């Protein structure tokens, strides 16, 4: 709850404050202590909070100025108390800043292209197979290992194009272990290899270079050799279908234990066909058939219903089967590695419009390697903006300052103590070989193998990028007034929340002594009107009501009466005890505030009567009975006392002459 309140107050602060850079009118309208606030600042925030179609009057200006002064006083005290130096404050503001800065640190046009590309790709699902030759990520493309891997894959591709079977070549040559059968190991059952078949997938489910190659290769064709972080690949696109989106279906699974046993396979297929015919002929519902015949223990008791899934979560034959169905349609038996399946499509969720998908796509792109395209474009723009100048020859000379110990995490920057030449300049600032050496030392990782120059180049590009983006990030407030304003707004909004919680909200909730004292001083403001303390009884019929009435007259406790009469049915009798205000209960009102038992009233086949216990005169509510209202009023008092304290501690000066000039623009 407190977190929601914090967000609300921050947003409230955004609505009543903006920085003095919004307009060019620099005349001082207001001073709070030693801080000054300009006409431009006040006019901006005032106009921001008044709609264009509202008729603004002079009194509105005065009223808003009072609110603005109160706001500034609170923030001023928060700063004087050092709340803006607390670790929690700095961390929270930093988090907001990172979010606000993101749009300024990417190329928006490239980002938009990536979003549209991903949206269009998600309209389709690709089924692809691949053959991979693993090469460490830190091995350069001109390294012997890379050259050999590329040649090997080109040879394999040539053989496939001349008639060799792709799956057999994957089983024989691919470094992806899923291509081959795996024997049982420990608790793991044996697993049949996929022959390189990755099934169906859509955008964001494969690394971006792999996705690119798959979507840019025609069905039935094999891609050129491509590289990913895992090594080199060739990809065969087997199928391309309209993406069914999120799928909700049910199935009946007839398990096959031995696919090489033709007799078992035929028997299971015959069984699946018989079940399908009974369903389609109307002899048995799909749900009943699933409960009776399905071998999938996880779904059969639920009528075969499966969790909602997307195409990449299911074997390709199953996807092909369900993709052909309309809602509520049942498929003929489909064979997968798990046996035969009869599938019923319960629902599917079509892709949203581009605009409705944009927020989700933004999140997916931001955490995907494709976002590097937008960052790269922004990096080049920032280099030009800050007069970037690079000395490539000095980077080449730096190679000799590093040896192979870099791959064992044993290399130190001090080994490059003689390397001090400039690598680049940014906005006049120099970055040297020694600066890079210190960074490189921190980036060391243990690699089994790698190419030294390639690793240095990769790390250098990363270092350069971080420096350029950090520099741009630090310049945002200076370059973009709207960003500076937002940051100031968030800064003051968080302070407003924290100081208000300290002085008012949190204090009212936690200061039980102060709350009780406030209640005692003001209890007459929280009064009950006259009430009737009564039991309202309901009975199943007249005879049970009569027994209950007799037991009440004898003084038997209510719980004992209910327990006795409900011995054979819990519906025989019930009662409600409360202190009723006028109008709160029609049966109590009908009792006319007469002590004792009322007449029976029949309503909706139930007998109701009231036992009036006492008439309570008007009296103050207990603190526990009105704690919420009393706490709110206590907060209001604390707010008033706080504002009185602030105005006595900080001198507030308003330039009346300038204020009148502002008001002259509005009606009386």
Read off the tokens for 170.
């994957």
Q: Other CB atoms closer than 10 Å to residue 189's CB: what's the count? A: 9
Assess whether pLDDT exceeds 90 at residue 407: no
With contact defined as beta carbons under 8 Å apart, do 201 and 316 qualify? no
pLDDT digits (tens, 9 = 90+) for 484-532: 888 988 999 999 999 999 999 998 888 899 999 999 999 999 999 999 9
For residue 224, the 8-state DSSP code is P
With contact defined as beta carbons under 8 Å apart, do 443 and 459 qualify? yes
Give the position of tokens 């602060």: 13
CATH 3.10.50.40 positions along the chain are: 124-242, 246-349
- Ramachandran class of 196: left when φ > 0, alpha when ψ lies in -120 to 50, beta otherwise: left
Q: Other CB atoms closer than 10 Å to residue 583's CB: what's the count? A: 8
Instruction: Looking at the structure, give the CATH architecture of the domain made up of residues 246-349.
Output: Roll (3.10)
From 1.10.3470, 3.20.20, 3.10.50, 1.10.357, which CATH number describes the 530-617 domain?
Answer: 3.10.50
Burial of 30 (0-12, 13-18, 19+ CB in 10 A): buried
Average pLDDT over residues 600-621: 95
Give the position of tokens 């059969």: 300
Q: Which of 629, 531, 539 is nearest to 583 (CA)?
A: 531
Q: Which of 385, 129, 381 is nearest to 233 (CA)?
A: 129
Distance CA 62, CA 376 (A): 51
Read off the tokens for 161.
């194009």
Distance CA 608, CA 573 (A): 10
646 CB contacts (<8 Å, ≥6 apart)?
70, 73, 74, 76, 77
With contact defined as beta carbons under 8 Å apart, do 319 and 200 qualify? yes
Assess whether pLDDT exceeds 70 at residue 8: no
Give the position of tokens 């840019």: 216
Most confident of 15-19, 62-66, 225-229, 662-666: 225-229
pLDDT digits (tens, 9 = 90+) for 264-301: 999 999 999 999 999 999 988 999 999 989 999 899 88
Longest dimension (CA), the chain: 107
- CA atoms within a 13 Å half-sphere pointing along the CA-CB vector of 332: 3
Q: Other CB atoms closer than 10 Å to residue 445's CB: what's the count? A: 11
3-state secondary structure of 36: strand
Class of domain 124-242: alpha beta
pLDDT digits (tens, 9 = 90+) for 313-342: 899 999 999 988 999 999 999 999 899 999
pLDDT digits (tens, 9 = 90+) for 67-87: 999 999 999 999 999 999 999
3-state secondary structure of 6: helix
Distance CA 149, CA 131 (A): 11
Q: Other CB atoms closer than 10 Å to residue 453's CB: what's the count? A: 16
Read off the tokens for 389.
């100048």
Q: Which of 140, 30, 97, 104 is nearest to 453 (CA)?
A: 140
């Amino acid at each position: 709850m407190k977190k929601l309140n914090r967000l609300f107050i921050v947003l409230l602060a955004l609505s009543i404050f903006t920085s003095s850079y919004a307009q060019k009118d620099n005349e001082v309208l207001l001073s709070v202590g030693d801080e000054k606030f300009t006409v431009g600042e006040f006019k901006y925030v005032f106009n921001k909070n008044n709609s264009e179609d509202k008729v603004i009057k002079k009194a509105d200006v005065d009223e808003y100025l009072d609110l603005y002064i109160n706001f500034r006083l609170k923030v001023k005290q928060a700063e004087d108390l050092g709340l803006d130096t607390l670790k929690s404050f700095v961390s929270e503001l930093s988090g907001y800043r990172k979010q606000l800065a993101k749009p300024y640190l990417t190329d928006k046009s490239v980002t938009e292209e990536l979003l549209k590309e991903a949206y269009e790709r998600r309209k389709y699902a690709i089924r692809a197979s691949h053959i991979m030759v693993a090469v460490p990520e830190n091995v350069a493309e001109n390294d012997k290992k890379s050259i050999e891997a590329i040649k090997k894959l080109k040879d394999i591709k040539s053989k496939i194009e001349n008639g060799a079977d792709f799956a057999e070549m994957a089983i024989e040559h691919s470094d992806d272990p899923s291509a081959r059968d795996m024997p049982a190991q420990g608790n793991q059952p044996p697993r049949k290899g996929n022959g390189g078949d990755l099934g169906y997938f859509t955008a964001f489910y494969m690394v971006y270079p792999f996705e690119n190659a798959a979507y840019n290769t025609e069905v039935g064709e094999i891609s050129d050799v491509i590289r990913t972080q895992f090594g080199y690949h060739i990809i065969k696109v087997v199928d391309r279908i309209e993406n069914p989106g999120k799928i909700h279906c049910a199935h009946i699974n007839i398990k096959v234990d031995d696919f090489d046993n033709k007799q078992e396979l035929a028997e299971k297929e015959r069984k699946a066909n018989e079940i399908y015919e009974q369903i389609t002929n109307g002899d048995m519902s799909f749900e009943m058939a699933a409960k009776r015949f399905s071998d999938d223990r996880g779904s059969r008791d639920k009528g075969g219903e499966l969790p909602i899934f997307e195409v990449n979560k299911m074997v390709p034959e199953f996807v092909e089967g369900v993709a052909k169905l309309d809602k509520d349609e049942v498929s003929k038996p489909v064979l997968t590695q798990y046996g035969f399946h009869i599938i019923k499509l319960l629902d599917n969720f079509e892709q949203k419009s581009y605009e409705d998908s944009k927020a989700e796509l933004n999140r997916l792109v931001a955490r995907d390697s494709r976002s590097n395209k937008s960052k790269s474009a922004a990096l080049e723009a920032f280099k030009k903006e800050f007069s970037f100048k690079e000395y490539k020859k000095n980077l080449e000379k730096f190679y000799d300052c590093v040896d192979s110990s870099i791959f064992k995490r044993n290399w130190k920057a001090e080994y490059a103590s003689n390397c001090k030449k400039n690598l680049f300049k940014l906005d006049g600032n120099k970055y040297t070989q020694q600066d890079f050496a210190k960074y490189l030392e921190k980036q060391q990782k243990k690699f089994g193998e790698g190419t030294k120059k390639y690793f240095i180049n990769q790390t250098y590009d990363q270092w350069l990028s971080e420096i350029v983006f950090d520099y741009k990030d630090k310049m945002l407030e200076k370059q973009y007034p709207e960003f500076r304003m937002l940051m100031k707004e968030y800064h003051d909004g968080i302070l407003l929340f924290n100081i208000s919680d300290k002085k008012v909200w949190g204090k009212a909730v936690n200061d039980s002594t102060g709350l009780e004292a406030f209640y005692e001083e003001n209890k007459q403001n929280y009064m009950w009107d006259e009430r009737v303390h009564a039991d309202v009884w309901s009975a199943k019929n007249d005879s049970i009501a009569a027994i209950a009435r007799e037991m009440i007259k004898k003084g038997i406790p209510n719980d004992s009466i209910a327990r006795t009469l409900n011995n054979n049915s819990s519906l025989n009798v019930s009662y409600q005890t409360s202190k009723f205000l006028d109008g709160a209960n029609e049966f109590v009102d009908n009792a006319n505030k007469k002590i004792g038992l009322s007449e029976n009233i029949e309503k909706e086949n139930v007998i109701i009567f009231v036992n009036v216990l006492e008439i309570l005169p008007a009296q103050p509510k207990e603190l526990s009975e009105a704690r919420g209202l009393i706490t709110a009023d206590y907060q209001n008092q604390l707010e008033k006392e706080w504002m009185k304290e602030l105005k006595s501690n900080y001198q507030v000066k308003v330039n009346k002459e300038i204020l009148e000039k502002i008001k002259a623009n509005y009606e009386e």
